[in-house]
Amino acid sequence: MSNLSVGAAHGKIILIGEHAVVYNKPAIAIPFTEVGAKAIIQEGGNDESGCRLNCKYFCGPFENAPEPLSGITACVHETLSYLQVEKPNITIRIESSIPSGRGLGSSAAIAYAVVKGLFRYYGHQANEDEILRLAQVAEIFAHGNPSGIDVVAVGSEGPIRFQKGKGAVPLPIGKTLHLVIADTGRFGDTRTAVESIRTLYEQDRLTTQRSLDLIEDFTYHCEQAMAKGDVKLVGCCLNLAQEELSALGVSDEGIDRLVDVARDSGALGAKLTGGGRGGCILALAADEQDALQLSISLKEAGATETYISRIGMSQHHYFEKAENERASES
């Protein structure tokens, strides 16, 4: 056991396959290392439960944490029980630069960072499968029926294909992808969006299944195009997936507007990313210069924030940064 430890995770972007992944289809996710979450575990809880939480939304003993934080508190309890800690005396401080409710992996990254931090604090050798299982406890509170892609993606070191029950496979990239992420400025409600597709599935199984099957096809084509470095074809797959997500009812006016602006401004493809109905869109640019131009156009069109992410270059720097911070804090 140490006096202080840090767990870290980055954000994630679902390139293609969201929602279909809930129905056992493959999806492609990439680390979004421009933002991240950090959990700092320190000795000293001094409360009834022995645990104190310090974060943007709440500072105090665990037992007083508000309902929206029940996922993370459940995840901590489960982790402490797994580690056989009966009397914790700790404060967990959470810092995150990942905007919440935007489909960028905020809740998953926080859960992953907390579990990893607790493993380190109690000197438990990190086993990735256990970390994922415990972080998923928080995700179940947040989403109800999560596929598991988020917790895997926030800890991955490169692009992955994820499939429920099969786990993640690292994907090769033939040519750097320049992605622009644009925030609609509105919370996306993943739980409601997932439930709405479930209702559609029960009402009209044939049509819904067809859309999910098509998304699966586009995901496989996208994976092959990424490996070959055929950026235009990747863009085409993104556009086609967006059509099916719209047909499934998880896009909305604000998303459609940003998607149109991105395409009119030269994007090779654009779609929502994550649960939809608010949240963010992603747009694929031909190169760095186009990505900068796209980012400006999307901001002018009302995006509250934009980020540029380059996929294919080394994405290890977030891990390195967090490790360095850990070293300087202890």
Closest CB to ligand PMV among 117 and 188? Answer: 188
> What is the Cα–Cα distance from 185 to 318, expressed in whole angstroms?
25
Is residue 188 at the binding interface for ligand PMV, with CB under 6 A as the rule? yes
Angle among Cα 71, 80, 320 to the nearest 5 degrees reads 80
Closest CB to ligand PMV among 186 and 228? Answer: 186
Closest CB to ligand PMV among 6 and 240? Answer: 240
Q: How far is the CB of 147 from ligand PMV (least distance, A)?
A: 3
Q: How far is the CB of 231 from ligand PMV (least distance, A)?
A: 24
- Interhelix angle for 190-203 vs 128-143, to 10°? 80
Is residue 147 at the binding interface for ligand PMV, with CB under 6 A as the rule? yes
Among 49, 190, 309, 315, binds ligand PMV (CB under 6 A): 190
Query: In angstroms, what CA-CA distances link 80 with 39, 46, 89, 217?
Result: 15, 17, 11, 42
> What is the Cα–Cα distance from 281 to 62, expressed in whole angstroms?
35
Closest CB to ligand PMV among 40 and 98? Answer: 98
DSSP-derived secondary structure for 204-253: -HHHHHHHHHHHHHHHHHHHHHHHHT-HHHHHHHHHHHHHHHHHTT---H
Closest CB to ligand PMV among 36 and 103? Answer: 103
> What is the Cα–Cα distance from 253 to 110, expressed in whole angstroms?
30
Q: How far is the CB of 198 from ligand PMV (least distance, A)?
A: 11
- The span of 80-88, 188-196, 232-240, 254-262 binding ligand PMV (CB under 6 A) equals 188-196
The DSSP 8-state label assigned to residue 34 in this structure reads E
Residues 24-83 that bind ligand PMV (CB under 6 A): none
Is residue 149 at the binding interface for ligand PMV, with CB under 6 A as the rule? yes
Q: How far is the CB of 260 from ligand PMV (least distance, A)?
A: 22
Q: Give the distance from CA 39 to its chain's centroid.
A: 17
| Sign of the Cα pseudo-torsion (297, 298, 301, 304, in order) | negative
Is residue 21 at the binding interface for ligand PMV, with CB under 6 A as the rule? yes
Closest CB to ligand PMV among 10 and 52? Answer: 10
Query: By the criterion CB under 6 A, which residues form the site for ligand PMV?
Result: 14, 18-19, 21-22, 103, 143, 146-147, 149-150, 188, 190, 194, 274-275
